[in-house]
Structure 1
Amino acid sequence: MNVKPHTANLTEEQEDELAVLFPVLEQTGSHGLTLFIGNRVAAENPVLLQAKNITSTMNLAVNIEIAPLSLPDGTRVRRTHIGLIDGPGNTPEHLLAAAFAISGIVEQESPGKPHYPAHRRGNLLVHCRGGRSRSATAIALYLHMYHADRFETIEAAVDHVRRARGLDTTQPQPAMLEMARAACGMIAAFRRRDAF
């Protein structure tokens, strides 16, 4: 099991009390942002987010609401929420929506308007409660869809996320992985249709 040193001997419950934050991919999208995976505690820590230049977060937990947050420099963190169930009960379309949303956040120009809260472009944190299953699966699907030159298969993308996050093969949960494979099948079917 490849687990980061500071969380290696902790149970999931103990780890969920700490701010967990790991870079998964640097230089993604046309703005060259870094994509992070983490947990709820990290998403609620303005000092940590500012230190990593994270100005947007995406919450994939259906059972967790994240409050608005400003960084110490006054930047308002842009929050996106796509609630997934941790295990069976989701649809491939819902997971695809999360992967498409990651791409949208990464590519967004982030214009300011007088009636918008103060914001600036920065890195993205994708999280759920613990950052082990829902967020790991959505990030892996994003990597496979948008960085297929590096992650030709969903399995290669999942392996990369596991290494970056320090997960063993029990995470992401099997139902999430099955849904990711189904989503990849849907993408392949759409591509075949477009070829005609």
Structure 2
Amino acid sequence: MTSEKVKKHYPRPPISLIESNIPGWGVDIYIGGSTGVADAELLEKHNIKVVLNCAVNLDIDLVHSEEPNTPEHLLKHGSARVRYYKIGLIDGPGNPESMVLAGYHLMRSALDQELPEKASYKVREKGNILVNCRGGRSRSVTIVALFLHLEYPDRYPTLDAAIAHIRKTRELHPDEWFETPKPALIHLAERAASMEKLLRDAGFGQDMKKK
């Protein structure tokens, strides 16, 4: 069964709650696809203030007001209703080995970041986080699973345990588990977990931890 057929036969919500009130940050984690992240009302309803886009082949225009006096030759730019971060993963083979690890650190750093009291930083509330890719079933699952495993090893002692939890909360059908996430991404996440643990053993990696 092809990936497109899987998507057609097994629909899922635009966004799904994966974890509530996570220790250390007190926010909720959501995973979603392109339709969910592009729905401003849905983001507001769930108090989502941080969006991490994991897809290299998906761009979302979240700008809701253009800066004044924008030259006509420039594309629309300005502030959004959320803080928007992106790491461009391929959904399958082809990603550098360190890229999934970078995704974990970007997710964690987005939660830790403290914005200054300046007018140009319009969204300073912590709020909840949405991690998305095109379908919300592979790349975003990989990054969130790695985050859960590394941050909460007592609850998710293995990467597989975190993936199993997300498959359930994201409502991924068992018939599509063979590619949710893609095997190449699972392999990179396993390598990323090993690399992060080595960094921690050497005294790096968790200096900003708030737990």
TM-score range relative to shorter protein = 0.7 to 0.9
CA, structure 1 residues 77+54, in 2 after alignment: closer, same or farther (shift >3 Å)? Answer: same
SS in 1 for 2:98: helix
1:72-151 equivalent positions in 2, closer than 5 A: 76-151=81-156
CA distance in 1, matches of 2:126, 2:199: 32
> What is the aligned counterpart of 1:39 among 33, 41, 44?
33
Q: Give the Å deviation of 1:187.
A: 2.2
Q: Show structure 1 runs of 5+ residues with no match.
A: 1-9
Q: Does 1:25 align with 2:19?
A: yes
CA, structure 1 residues 37+185, in 2 after alignment: closer, same or farther (shift >3 Å)? Answer: same
CA, structure 1 residues 119+192, in 2 after alignment: closer, same or farther (shift >3 Å)? Answer: closer
The CA RMSD measured in Å over matched residues stands at: 2.5
Computing the radius of gyration from Cα coordinates, the structure with the larger value is: 2
- What residue number does 1:187 align with? 196
1:139-178 equivalent positions in 2, closer than 5 A: 139-167=144-172, 168=174, 169-170=177-178, 171-178=180-187
CA, structure 1 residues 54+156, in 2 after alignment: closer, same or farther (shift >3 Å)? Answer: same
Q: Give the Å deviation of 1:193.
A: 4.1
> What is the aligned counterpart of 1:68 among 58, 62, 72?
62
Q: Give the Å deviation of 1:68.
A: 2.3
Q: Show structure 2 runs of 5+ residues with no match.
A: 66-78, 205-211
CA distance in 1, matches of 2:203, 2:97: 20
Task: Tell me how many residue pairs correspond in the alignment.
Answer: 183
CA distance in 1, matches of 2:116, 2:10: 36
Task: Give the TM-score normalised by structure 1.
Answer: 0.83
Q: Give the Å deviation of 1:48.
A: 0.5
Give the aligned residue type for 1:109: E
Contact 2:83 / 2:123 at 8 angstroms: preserved in 1?
no
Task: Give the TM-score normalised by structure 2.
Answer: 0.77
CA distance in 1, matches of 2:117, 2:8: 39
Q: Give the Å deviation of 1:145.
A: 1.0
CA distance in 2, matches of 1:67, 1:163: 30
CA distance in 1, matches of 2:125, 2:28: 15
Give the aligned residue type for 1:81: K
Identity of aligned residues (%): 35
Say which is worse superposed, 166-175 or 106-115, in terms of deviation.
106-115
